[in-house]
């Protein structure tokens, strides 16, 4: 794997790269979820480029930027072993020089769910993803379904702004006990991790009730809430049942497909998860 640290060095290589080019972006804290994106990219791309950048603009002032569990050496080795061809690790000063003054900002879709709890978060994501697409110029870019809203926001940005990139969504990877993989799982104590299992359990129970014919949105949301409430360490930020594209909340009767998503705090750790009801 070729490790590059400047945009210029990537540009030099880019002219000779064999397409299709698949891009797997990460903030660091690489885990099996990211590596499953590499696997997916390897299936349909000739060159796999990964991007490792802890983007400060997508973290709020009271969020975990300074403690984010990114271990560069370990991240490099995992991406290398999984078959990434080129890894770009840009410097913050190159990405955001002192006169940087642009924000790529989407509308309503970024104000809902995570956006309502983390003001400015999606502006940080869409700004860096726009820069990343312009720098890497991939044919396809791979994103995990665990970050369901991020995926929708990026799909919308690509459509609205005509980015010549195909967005490929890949299924959430879970531990054997159902916990969705997340870089932030590293923060959890053993007791907290055990409580966190109620997230998937709640989603799983709600999906089962939907599959057994329940179509009342409040009842389905409530199945998740009641399961999570059994875990004393968890504070619920939201449990949402929304249209999977607009993310607008469903009231009354569910007409599938619908996105059942949640965000919680366990101690200081912010976790999200979701399932699609089809
Ligand atoms: O999902 C992530 O890891 C980040 O939000 C991304 C897409 C790499 C942008 O910084």
Pocket test for ligand 1, best of 110, 131, 150, 163 (most atoms within 8 A of CB): 150
CA of 47 to the centre of ligand 1 (A): 20
Minimum CA distance residue for ligand 1 atom 8: 26
At residue 79 the predicted structure's pLDDT band, cuts being 50, 70 and 90, is very high
Beta strands in the chain (DSSP E): 2-4, 21-26, 47-52, 86-88, 140-144, 166-170, 234-242, 258-266, 269-277
Residue 6 reports pLDDT greater than 90: yes
User: Averaged over 61-87, what is the pLDDT?
Assistant: 96
Q: Which residues contact 126 (CB under 8 A, 6 or more apart)?
A: 104, 105, 106, 110, 153, 154, 157
Specify whether the CB–CB gap between 186 and 69 falls below 8 A: yes
CA of 266 to the centre of ligand 1 (A): 22
Minimum CA distance residue for ligand 1 atom 1: 26
So what's the pLDDT on residue 70? Answer: 79
Phi-psi region of 29 (alpha: psi -120 to 50; beta: other; left: phi over 0): left
Instruction: For residue 114, give the nearest of 222, 263, 273 by alpha carbon.
Output: 263
- pTM value is 0.97
CA of 255 to the centre of ligand 1 (A): 31
Neighbours of 254 (CB within 10 A): 18
Q: What percent of the chain has pLDDT over 70?
A: 100
Neighbours of 67 (CB within 10 A): 11
Average pLDDT, the chain: 98
> What residues are in contact with ligand 1 under a 6 Å CB criterion?
25-27, 55, 58, 125, 128-129, 147, 150
């Amino acid at each position: 794997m070729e490790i590059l640290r400047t945009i210029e060095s990537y540009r030099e290589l880019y002219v000779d790269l064999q397409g299709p080019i698949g891009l797997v972006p990460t903030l660091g804290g690489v885990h099996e979820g990211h590596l499953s994106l590499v696997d997916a990219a390897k299936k349909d791309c000739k060159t796999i480029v990964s991007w490792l950048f802890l983007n400060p603009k997508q973290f709020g002032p009271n969020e975990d930027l300074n403690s984010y569990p990114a271990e560069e050496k370990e991240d490099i080795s995992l991406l290398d072993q999984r078959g990434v061809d080129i890894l770009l690790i840009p410097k913050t000063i190159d990405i955001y020089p002192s006169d940087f003054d642009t924000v790529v900002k989407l509308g309503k879709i970024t104000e809902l769910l995570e956006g309502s709890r983390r003001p400015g978060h999606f502006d940080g994501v869409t700004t860096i993803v726009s820069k990343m697409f312009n720098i890497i110029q991939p044919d396809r870019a791979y994103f995990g379904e665990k970050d369901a809203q991020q995926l929708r926001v990026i799909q919308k940005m690509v459509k609205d702004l005509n980015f010549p990139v195909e967005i490929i969504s890949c299924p959430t990877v879970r531990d054997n006990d159902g916990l969705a993989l997340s870089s932030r799982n590293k923060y959890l104590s053993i007791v907290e991790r055990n409580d966190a299992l109620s997230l998937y359990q709640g989603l799983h129970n709600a999906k089962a009730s939907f599959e057994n014919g329940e179509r009342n949105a409040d009842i389905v949301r409530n199945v998740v809430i009641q399961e999570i409430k059994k875990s004393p360490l968890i504070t619920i930020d939201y449990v949402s049942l929304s249209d999977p594209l607009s993310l607008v909340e469903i009231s009354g009767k569910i007409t599938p497909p619908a996105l059942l998503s949640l965000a919680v705090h366990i101690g200081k750790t912010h976790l999200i998860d979701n399932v699609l009801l089809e």
